[in-house]
Amino acid sequence: MMIQGYIGTRDFLPNDWKIMNYLFDVWKKSSNSMGFEEYEAPIIEDVKLFTAKSGEEIKNQLFWFKDKGDRDVCLRAELTPQLARYIVNYGKAIKKPIKWFSMPRLFRYEKPQKGRLREFFQFNADIIGEESIYSTIEIISLAIKILEGFNLTNKDFKVKINSRKIIDSLIKILGVNDSLAFYLLLDKKSKMEEKDFLKELKILVTDYKRLLQLLSLKGNELFDELKNIGVNIDRIKSVFEIIGYDYLELDLSIIRGLDYYTDIVFEAFDTKNEFRAIFGGGEYNNLIKDLGGDNLPAVGFGMGDTVLLELLKSKKLLPEFVNDSVFLATIGDCYKDALKIKNKLISKGINVDLNVSNKNLSKQFQYAESKGINTVYIIGEQDLKNGIIVKKDLKTGKEEKIKA
RNA sequence: UUCCGAGUAGUCCAACUUGGUUAGGAUAGCAGGUUGUGGCCCUGCUGAUCCGGAUUCAAAUUCCGGCUCGGAACCCA
């Protein structure tokens, strides 16, 4: 009987896991370089943590079940509620602002699609307890720094950014009769036919012509026009002034989920628009208070591994991995001597892959090569009598004799 | 949950249209040629029709259901 992997999960063989470790490395190094500290949280949680803000319907998209004590539990589908729980439970004793990151494995009960799986990794970084716009700038800067760490540039991606408060101002100024429906419509805009969008817009918005005009504008023209009609743009504009217009694009249709964002929200997309959002996040100033904690402002983002991997593959930006181990080939009865040499090399900080097979020397070379190893030490019975081992470079074929 | 497409050795592909010998090839793996110098080459071996049912003398091939994969809708935290 053959048992296959579970739907929407991936099997990570060593070569796959090398790639994942590359992602983890870039995530970690970038975060550390900007003063973020890593934390980790349980994979299993009380389901209430996720239904608190998202409602009972969210259970349909969770892996949830009852444990033997009849408790409702689930596999975590996002990290932010857990972070909020930590802050509620432990945050009082921690100096603010808190700058943390994590790389959780997450689970969502969905039908797999392009860039969406049931199990995936998602880098998360957050700043808690400092409402200044510099927190948000720091967060977006980190997100960009990470993508640059993968050798992506602003020719490959753009960060689309919006402000919930600007939308709320527009709702008042332009006369919107159903603000929730308006949010949902903006959110769906990019997926809709233009005429369908227009049709619904006319129903919802009194001054829909002005809105259409706004949606057609970009950059400073859009800022100026928003200012003209009485919208306060100071906060979001300062983000542009520091991070730069090369990376950012004000886009009034960026909404993200309705559950907890309060003002600035952002999403990054590849410039060809082939993939889903590369990362997304925003400011969520009520979540911690709503979960029973202090009134702490927060901002953060998540970056999943699936879209990122697809993007890096399509841009051919995944690195070739080198195996810096040395291989100890053996000839004849010299296992004990090889062991001594192995331990000596290990104590010098060298990774050593000792031959454990009865294969002849040729096959041992092929084995080493298949593992990406470049340096082989040949340990032979005869040479050992003369106190010699041979060091061979598999790429160049060069050999040198060294003392055993 | 809904819609569309696809499932043949580890991987890639052929045979399916028009049912009919032992399901063929490439590559990878293993062994040998060649147990002290690999990568080329040669020989041999291992290894597959997703699962279940129907039709039929006969099913990889046709039909139905399921499962998985890919894509899309919904949703997207």
Instruction: Report chain A's terminal Cα–Cα distance, integer Å.
Output: 51
Domain membership of residue A53 as a residue range = 1-156+271-319
In degrees and rounded to multiples of 5, residue A100 shows phi and psi of -130, 155
Q: Which of residues 209-228 of A touch strand B (CB under 7 A)?
A: none
Domain CATH number, residue A382? 3.40.50.800
Nucleotides on chain B within 7 angstroms of protein Cβ: 1-3, 28-32, 34-39, 67-77
What does the pLDDT look like over A197-251, one tens digit per residue?
A: 999 999 999 999 999 999 999 889 999 999 999 999 999 999 999 999 999 999 9
- ω into A42 cis (within 30 of 0): no
Residues A330 and A220 in one domain: no
A323 contacts: CB under 8 Å, gap ≥ 6: A371, A372, A373, A374
| Residue A280 · residue A268 · CB < 8 Å | yes
Does residue A110 contact residue A8 with C-beta atoms inside 8 Å?
A: yes
A10-67: pLDDT as tens digits: 989 888 999 999 999 999 999 999 999 999 999 999 999 999 888 888 888 999 999 9
Same domain membership, residue A35 and residue A129: yes
Looking at chain A, the whole-number percentage of residues with pLDDT higher than 90 is: 81
Instruction: Give the CA-to-C1' distance from A336 to B12 in angstroms.
Output: 44
- Looking at the domain assignment, is residue A364 inside a domain? yes
The answer on A221 and A340 residing in a single domain is no
Strands A37-38 and A98-102: parallel
| Contact flag, residue A399 CB and nucleic strand B, below 7 A | yes
d(CA A402, CA A377): 10
Same domain (yes/no): A354, A373: yes
Rounded Cα distance between A18 and A371, Å, is 12
Q: Which of residues 265-284 of A touch strand B (CB under 7 A)?
A: 276, 280
Amino acid, res. A223: F
Residues A284, A184 share a domain: no
Spatial distance between the Cα atoms of A133 and A240, rounded to a whole number of angstroms: 11
Rounded Cα–Cα distance for residues A187 and A53 (Å)? 19
Q: Determine the residue type at A290.
A: D
Residues A79 and A5 in one domain: yes
Helix H or strand E encompassing A53: helix A48-54
| Spatial separation of the C-alpha atoms in residues A69 and A84, rounded to whole Å | 25
Please give the average per-residue pLDDT across A84-89, as a whole number: 96
In a domain, residue A260? The reply is no
**pLDDT of A2 over the 70 cut:** no
- DSSP for residue A17: H
Assign A92 to helix, strand or coil: helix
Same domain, yes or no, for A203 and A309? Answer: no
Q: What is the pLDDT of residues A291-345, one digit of tens each?
A: 999 999 999 999 999 999 999 998 989 988 889 999 999 998 899 999 999 999 9
Residues A175, A89 share a domain = no
Distance between the alpha carbon (CA) of A325 and the C1' atom of B13, Å: 36
Residues 168-197 of A with CB under 7 A from strand B: 184, 187-188, 191
Answer whether residue A251 is part of any domain.
Answer: no
The pLDDT, as a whole number, for residue A155 is: 95
Kindly report which amino acid residue has its CA closest to the C1' atom of nucleotide B69: A7
Residue A250 within any structural domain of the chain: no
Q: CA geometry: angle at A127 spanning A123 and A131, to 5°? A: 145
Instruction: Assess whether A109 and A43 both reside in one domain.
Output: yes
Beta-carbon neighbour count of residue A65 at 10 Å? 12
Residue A3 has pLDDT above 80, yes or no: no
Do A23 and A142 reside in the same domain of the chain?
Answer: yes
Complex prediction ipTM:
0.88
Percent of chain A predicted with pLDDT > 70:
99
Angle, vertex CA A106, rays to CA A103 and CA A107, nearest 5: 170
> Is there a single domain that holds both residue A363 and residue A299?
no
Q: How far is CA A338 from CA A323, A324, A326, A335, in A?
A: 20, 19, 13, 5
A30 in any annotated domain: yes
Structure tokens at A218: 């970009």
CA of A326 to C1' of B20 (A): 57
What is the C-alpha separation between A171 and A176, in angstroms, rounded?
5
Residue of A118, A159, A112 whose CA lies nearest to A140: A159
Q: What pLDDT score does A191 carry?
A: 86
A263 falls within a domain: no
Q: Are A265 and A298 in contact (CB under 8 A)?
A: no
Number of domain units in chain A: 3
**What tens digit of pLDDT does each residue of A184-201 get?**
999 999 888 888 899 999
Let me know if residue A296 belongs to a domain: yes
Q: Tell me the pLDDT tens digit for each residue of A92-111.
A: 999 999 999 999 999 999 99
CATH number at residue A287: 3.30.930.10
Packing angle between helix A14-33 and helix A305-314, nearest 10 degrees? 100
> CA of A1 and C1' of B23: distance in angstroms?
22
Is the same domain home to A95 and A126?
yes
